[in-house]
Structures are given as structure tokens and as C-alpha cells.
Amino acid sequence: MILLGLTGSIGMGKSTVAAMLRSAGVPVFDADAAVHRLQGPDGPLLPAIEQAFPGSTGPGGVDRAALGRAVFGDSAALRRLEAIVHPAVRAERAAFLRRHRAHRIVIDDVPLLFETRAERRVDGVIVVSAPAWMQRRRVLARPGMSGAKFAQILARQMPDAEKRRRADFVIPTGRTRAETRRKVKILLACLRARGIRYCRSCVRSSSTPKQPG
């Protein structure tokens, strides 16, 4: 089994690439989705989160707005939340890998992969990347997003250029969806045929399109 980490900064198109990988038959562990399950209705983490952040949960699970207000800009509060969530996510990941150990390629989708040094547990890293102007446009189009919040999120994330430098493979999403899908197919075909050791030159695009005009 080849275990690849999939990562990329906010607004870079990581979810799009993850969906393309799944459609190609590759199992993808989605850490964010696991967090949603663990914090959803009757989620096992609700009692601990409510105790640490009173008023942040309800019948429907975690009140994401309330929890966000409790930890936003407060590094100590964020660490308390991570101490609750991260061990549970690790257990979910381990169970997922056991279920899919017979597959040739498995993806571990981790938004803060380099930031949490999670690259040490995978065989290689795929970074999804787009131009900064496109990233900003995508993110600010999201409901409830502001320039200040976007800046706060970026401050917690490793710069895109550094992620691309550390990556084994870079998938660009700044062009067309068809081009992104083509890059994904090329990479998967090489990995399935030759293994990761020989495939690092398959997806060479560490650069991204320039801002138009």
C-alpha cells in the first residue's frame, strides 16, 4: 500500500482533487469529515467539548459558530480543542487504513499536514495549489468569510510556495477542471504501474498560472 498525504491551503481546491481521487477508486480518509462525524448529533466528543467550552453544543451537535467564537484568535483555547479532537481523529484514521490496507494507493487528506508534521507518517505528499489571487477570490466568496478571518486562517498555514517546495507531487487547480483531472490520472497511472519511487517527475507543475492582465 502506498499512503499519500493530500494537502493544500484554504481555497486551493483540495476537496475537488479529493473527489477526483475517489471517483478513480482511491480510498480517501477525510480528516475534516471525521471531525464532523465526531462532533455531529450524538457524536462521542460532544460531552468533552461542552465541558471545555460551555454552550458550544446542542441537540444537533457542535454549534460551529459558537465554538469558532470560543477559539478564534485564542491559541490556548485552540490547543484545548485540539487535545480533544486529534486523538479521536487518529483512531478513526487507523481504523480506515486497516479497512483499506489491500488497496494499492490510499490517501490521507490532511489540511494542516506540514504544519502538524504529519508528513512523517505518509510515503509521499500531494500538494494542491492555485494562484494567490484565485485562492483569495474563492475564499472570500464563502458565506461568513471576511478579509480579517481569511488573514487569520492564512497565518496558521504554511505558505503555499513552501508547501510546493516540500511536495512530492503538485496538482494545480488554477486552470480548467479537465486539466486538473488529467494531472490526477497521470499521477495515479504512474503510481499504480511503477510505485512512488519512480513517479516524482510525473506531475512537475510546481508553478501556478500568473494573475491575468
pLDDT tens across 139-191, in order?
A: 999 998 999 999 988 988 999 999 999 999 999 999 899 999 999 999 999 99
Burial of residue 112 (number of CB atoms within 10 Å: 0-12, 13-18, 19+): middle
Please report, in range form, the residues annotated as the binding site for ATP: 11-16
Look at residue 211 in the predicted model and tell me its pLDDT.
43
4 & 65 share domain = no
Do 135 and 187 lie in one domain? The reply is yes
Q: Which residues of 57-91 are buried (b: 16+ CB within 10 A; e: fewer)?
A: beeebbbeeebeebbeeeeeeeebbeebbeebbee
CATH number for position 172: 3.40.50.300
SS3 3: strand
Residues 141 and 197 in one domain: yes
Specify if 52 maps to a domain.
yes
Domain count, the chain: 2
Element (H, E) at 117: none
Last residue of a domain, one of 64, 90, 116: 90
* 187 and 131 both lie in a single domain: yes
pLDDT for 200:
67
List binding-site positions.
Answer: 11-16
* Residue 206: φ, ψ to 5°: -90, -5
Range list of H helices, the chain: 14-23, 31-39, 46-52, 64-71, 75-99, 132-140, 147-156, 160-166, 177-194
Q: Do 130 and 67 sit in the same domain of this protein?
A: no
- Given a contact cutoff of 8 angstroms between Cβ atoms, the answer to whether 49 and 56 are in contact is yes
Q: Are the CB atoms for 163 and 129 separated by under 8 Å? A: yes
Pair 121, 188 in one domain = yes
Task: Point out the domain boundary residue: 90, 108, 127.
Answer: 90
Q: Are residues 64 and 152 in the same domain?
A: no
Q: Give every residue of the chain whose pLDDT is below 50, as ranges.
A: 205-213
DSSP state of 211: P
According to the model, what pLDDT value does residue 210 have? 42
Identify the sign of the CA torsion 8, 11, 12, 14.
positive
Distance CA 28, CA 96 (A): 9
- What does each C-alpha distance from 175 to 18, 74, 178, 183, 203 come to in angstroms? 17, 37, 8, 11, 15
Q: What is the dihedral of CA 75, 111, 35, 135, to 10 degrees?
A: 90
- Asked if the structure places residue 95 within a domain, the reply is no
The three cell numbers of residue 166 are: 516540500
Residue 34 falls inside a structural domain = no
pLDDT at 68: 87
Question: How much is the pLDDT for 209?
Answer: 42
Q: Could you tell me the residue range of the domain that residue 78 belongs to?
A: 39-90
β-pairing, 2-7 with 105-109? parallel
What is the reported pLDDT for 156? 87
Do residues 202 and 138 both lie within one domain? yes
For residues 28 and 56, the answer to whether their CB atoms sit within 8 Å is no
Judgement on whether residues 168 and 204 belong to the same structural domain of the protein:
yes
pLDDT at residue 206, as a whole number: 38
82 & 117 share domain: no
Q: Are residues 81 and 105 in the same domain?
A: no
Rounded to whole angstroms, the Cα distance separating 109 from 107 reads 6
